[in-house]
Chains A and B, each alone.
Chain A
């Protein structure tokens, strides 16, 4: 397990977030996200897991559901955000106010789409594990997190590298069964859909 970059927290965060993100919390949440990713792997989905934390309370968790829904946009972050939105509705709270104080913990760097979605609802901080070289929207392919995109709200901050090795290991396991060069390829149904995240180390699914 490698934990980096968590000792120094950025000073720009609202107090409520700063209070809930000392290292012990971030690690705890990241471990739980990692477990969600494992669940996704068991479901035959790309193993990405995430967690939305608002004032120390977990409002949403999610793993990829792309194969289950036949909708390529059902990434972990989208599933988690739907839960937060639902919670806001039930509680009668303004979703914009809630998201402004919510931190996302996710095992893999959000893709360009998710980064866009996270900015649209003004999430201020993302804590993620490994990079997503193929689709990453927080620096790997595009800088959706920090670019000044018109009508897309304020930029968001990222802390990267938390439990990155665990995240990579899960992706490695997922792609192992689907490597086209493997001697006995095990073909799962809808396996090709599993291209939703990249593997920063091996790129086993690449051509």
Chain B
């Protein structure tokens, strides 16, 4: 990430404290470009360029490399010369066609006149279209490439995605999670808070109960069940659920229990046949009405946890991460990473291509405070 390369000043350090880092899929964050080999040739007579281009496009269309420009300028000043991408290695199935000295003959045989074409050589080109500006910079070092900048993605990568008002909100919710974490009685001191972003209110919160009650009652898992409870379901047995969000002595809180009347419309999943929302759709400037995934039934309740955000002090494990995915969570914000974590550290469950739901994940919120929770034991 570009920020890491910056010289750190006092201001930067203050900024860094508030970084909210997106956890993105590896193919987005990587700056290593995959390359393919192509045949390229120097153009000795510029007048033939357009004819050559036309003939090459018919004989060897760039099927898998549509992002590449066919012509590039090389050299500087008076030594500028043009080079043309002739064809990909796999366009020439016979080994004898691949001999460079025979290339002119091969081209001629395919109705490409080689008049004005100079030396033919092998060149490396980027295999696919760059997704980020950083990848674009890498790619054009090999061959000119088209690039359509995704502004939201660049903001995410820069850490400028959330404005200061958003950041304050996010940090406040994380503070709630931290204070809930302090109620954990065992070694795992973790807190989790579900927030309904439509009203920016806490739906439920819990400390970690794995040592106190049940090996699977990790804080995020308990919250998933508390949401079910708030919708008239729920499966866990609880000792002391508070209806007061500020009560500091109870392990968990859930907003008033809303019992669905039998005739109330059953919450339904969003229609999965319509194309899904993009993995990284922007948050800024979206109104609630246009935001997909925030659909509610007549009782104002979502389907499972659809549309809710989770704030948790540390990265969820694989069980919790998948529980959140099954519950159709919208976004997850966590404080510190753990080596076995499933949202960025060991697995990337939120962007696993085979799975039927993807969600946004951000880390590093009040990281130091969250880390400290693990150290100060009761």
Write the residues of chain A forming the contact surface with B, with a CB cutoff of 8 angstroms: 65, 68-74, 78, 81-82, 85, 95, 111-117, 120-121, 134-135, 137, 141-142, 144, 147, 149-152, 180, 189-190, 192-193, 195-196, 207
Decide: B317 and A152 in contact? CB cutoff 8 A. yes
Decide: A70 and B234 in contact? CB cutoff 8 A. yes
Compute how far the CA of A199 lies from the CA of B225 in the bound complex, rounded to whole angstroms.
26
Q: Which of B35-43, B91-99, B196-204, B348-356 touches A?
A: B348-356
Given A192-B269, A192-B303, A117 and B235 contact (CB-CB distance below 8 Å): no
Cβ distance A192 to chain B, nearest Cβ, rounded Å? 4
Compute how far the CA of A116 lies from the CA of B215 in the bound complex, rounded to whole angstroms.
12
B206 within 8 A of A: no
B233 within 8 A of A: yes
Decide: A116 and B318 in contact? CB cutoff 8 A. yes
Decide: A142 and B352 in contact? CB cutoff 8 A. yes
Compute how far the CA of A149 lies from the CA of B215 in the bound complex, rounded to whole angstroms.
17
**A-side contacts of B376, CB under 8 Å:** none
Compute how far the CA of A180 lies from the CA of B338 in the bound complex, rounded to whole angstroms.
41
Given A73-B224, A95-B215, A150 and B322 contact (CB-CB distance below 8 Å): no
Compute how far the CA of A180 lies from the CA of B272 in the bound complex, rounded to whole angstroms.
11
Compute how far the CA of A207 lies from the CA of B271 in the bound complex, rounded to whole angstroms.
10
Decide: A121 and B224 in contact? CB cutoff 8 A. no
B134 within 8 A of A: no
User: CB within 8 Å of A: which of B311-349?
Assistant: 317-319, 322-323, 325-328, 338-340, 342, 346-347, 349
Interface size class of B (residues with CB under 8 A): 35 or more
**B-side contacts of A113, CB under 8 Å:** 318-319, 322-323, 325-326
Decide: B339 and A151 in contact? CB cutoff 8 A. yes
Decide: A195 and B356 in contact? CB cutoff 8 A. yes
B57 within 8 A of A: no
Decide: A71 and B322 in contact? CB cutoff 8 A. no
Decide: B318 and A152 in contact? CB cutoff 8 A. yes
Decide: B233 and A69 in contact? CB cutoff 8 A. yes
B176 within 8 A of A: no
Decide: A137 and B234 in contact? CB cutoff 8 A. no
B145 within 8 A of A: no
- Identify the closest chain A residue to B213 (Cβ): A85
Mark each residue of chain B from 253 to 282: 1 if its CB lies under 8 Å from any CB of chain A, else 0: 000000000000011110011000000000
Given A65-B235, A73-B221, A150 and B339 contact (CB-CB distance below 8 Å): yes
**A-side contacts of B328, CB under 8 Å:** 72
Given A149-B318, A152-B318, A71 and B224 contact (CB-CB distance below 8 Å): yes
- CB < 8 Å neighbour of A71 from B233, B319, B352: B233
- Identify the closest chain A residue to B317 (Cβ): A116
**B-side contacts of A192, CB under 8 Å:** 268-269, 303
Cβ distance A166 to chain B, nearest Cβ, rounded Å? 25
- Identify the closest chain A residue to B353 (Cβ): A141
Identify which of A71, A74, A95, A189 gathers the most chain B CB atoms within 10 Å of its CB: A71
